[in-house]
Amino acid sequence: MHGLLRARLIRGEMRPGAMVSLRTLAGEFGTSAMPVREAAGRLVSEGALEFVRNRGIRVPRMTRERLLDLTALRVFAETELVKRAAFLLPDEALQAARRADAAVNAAIAAGDAGAYMRANHAFHFGLYAAAASPVFFRLAESVWTQTGPVMSVVHASLSRLDYSDHHPRILEALARQDPAGAAEATRADIESGLDLIARAGFLTAPAGAAIDFAAA
């Protein structure tokens, strides 16, 4: 239950600013409002949702400052995760990551933002799971939950040509058990994502103001 709501955010299936009542969500999940309340509460406490009193829950709008902070966190957490995964990654996980990367490319070629979000998540977290660090894994999950909604909007508004693909570099570094190389490629991958947002003009909002994704 809790995982379902989190997955919706990570996959970008809820837009920034979207508001929904607990009862509506409960109806979609086929349960009562209480489990939804609890799941939403957890996501509120990590900043991925916010309660609006007597209205429901809302996906927070993104500000430039928050996005930069979250990106810095992503770099820290995820470079650490791939560094550790370099020596622990089973062959089957590496091959699963190759398949996930192929799915990513297919989604880009098809211009399917939703499929891209899902495949990209599977690619990264399949690797991170091998790092055997609950602390950093949970942190990465938390950050993705917060950035999912905005990334979804960004990808949906972009041409398929804008992507510079760092995934092969990550895979090659992991295959030769090179932690530093994998970390560097991961950093490049994350920052190219931020660069994508910047080039799309989403970072021109005044300080503290919510980014206007409707302009996309």
Partner DNA sequence: GCGGGCGAAGTGTGATCTTACTTGTGCTGG
Partner DNA sequence: CCAGCACAAGTAAGATCACACTTCGCCCGC
Binding site for a second copy (CB under 8 A): 2, 37-38, 41-42, 45-47, 65-66, 69-70, 72-73, 76, 80, 133-136, 138-139, 142
- To a second copy, the closest distance from the beta carbon of 42 in angstroms equals 4
207: nearest Cα among 92, 64, 98: 64
Shorter beta-carbon distance to DNA: residue 31 or 95:
31
Residue 58 within binding range of DNA, rule CB under 7 A: no
Name which of a second copy, DNA, none residue 33 binds, using a CB cut-off of 5 to 8 Å depending on partner kind. DNA
Shorter beta-carbon distance to a second copy: residue 37 or 98:
37
How many chain residues bind DNA (CB under 7 A)? 19
Positive or negative torsion for Cα 103, 109, 114, 120 = positive
Quick one: tokens of 5? 């709501």
- Name the DSSP class of 60: P
Among 3, 18, 23, 42, binds DNA (CB under 7 A): 23
- Bin 177: left if φ > 0, else alpha if -120 < ψ < 50, else beta: left
Cα 188 to Cα 1: distance, rounded to the nearest angstrom = 34
E runs forming strands in the chain: 19-20, 50-52, 56-58
- Return residues touching DNA (CB under 7 A): 1, 21-24, 31-35, 37-38, 41, 51, 53-57
